[in-house]
């Protein structure tokens, strides 16, 4: 049973607009959350993370929001660029450095 769920398999957005990716989790013991980005034929690369003691973390165009009561986090990309077209994985951990991943969301940025 997947503990980290990304219910939107794909997202299409126009260049310059905001991309919002959503992620839900079921395990209340998770205390650290991450987003990874993956291009075809490459391994995932770390994008941004957030600790459970925070509700927002920002890094340039990328912002992650955490709502612990709803067990929900989201990734905002503003503005979206063609190079952002990739698969994005949400991941979570229980302070043991093992990550549980969601199924991924494929983002396509249209020119």
Partner 1 sequence: NAGVTQTPKFQVLKTGQSMTLQCAQDMNHNSMYWYRQDPGMGLRLIYYSASEGTTDKGEVPNGYNVSRLNKREFSLRLESAAPSQTSVYFCATSGLGYGYTFGSGTRLTVV
Identity of the residue, 68 or 79, whose beta carbon is nearer to partner 1 in the bound complex: 68
Identity of the residue, 2 or 28, whose beta carbon is nearer to partner 1 in the bound complex: 2
- Look up residue 27 and give its two tokens: 């395990």
State the minimum distance, in angstroms, from the CB of residue 13 to partner 1: 21
State the minimum distance, in angstroms, from the CB of residue 25 to partner 1: 12
State the minimum distance, in angstroms, from the CB of residue 93 to partner 1: 6
The number of residues making up the chain comes to 111
Identity of the residue, 14 or 51, whose beta carbon is nearer to partner 1 in the bound complex: 51
CA nearest to 84, candidates 6, 21, 31: 21
Three-state DSSP class for residue 82: helix
- Between CA 32 and CA 39 the distance in angstroms is 24
Identity of the residue, 32 or 65, whose beta carbon is nearer to partner 1 in the bound complex: 32
- Between CA 81 and CA 98 the distance in angstroms is 31
Residue with tokens 């957005």: 13
Q: Catalog residues that contact partner 1 under the rule CB under 8 A.
A: 2, 4, 6, 9, 32, 34, 36, 41-46, 49, 89, 93, 97-104
């Amino acid at each position: 049973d997947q503990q980290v769920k990304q219910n939107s398999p794909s997202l299409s957005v126009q260049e310059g607009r905001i991309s919002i990716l959503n992620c839900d989790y079921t395990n209340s013991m998770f205390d650290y959350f991450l987003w990874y980005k993956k291009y075809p034929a490459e391994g995932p690369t770390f994008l941004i993370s957030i600790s459970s003691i925070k509700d927002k973390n920002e890094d340039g165009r990328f912002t992650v929001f955490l709502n612990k009561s709803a067990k929900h986090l989201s990734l905002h990309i503003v503005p979206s660029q063609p190079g952002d077209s990739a698969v994005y994985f949400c991941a979570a951990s229980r302070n043991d450095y093992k990550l549980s991943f969601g199924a991924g969301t494929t983002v396509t940025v249209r020119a």
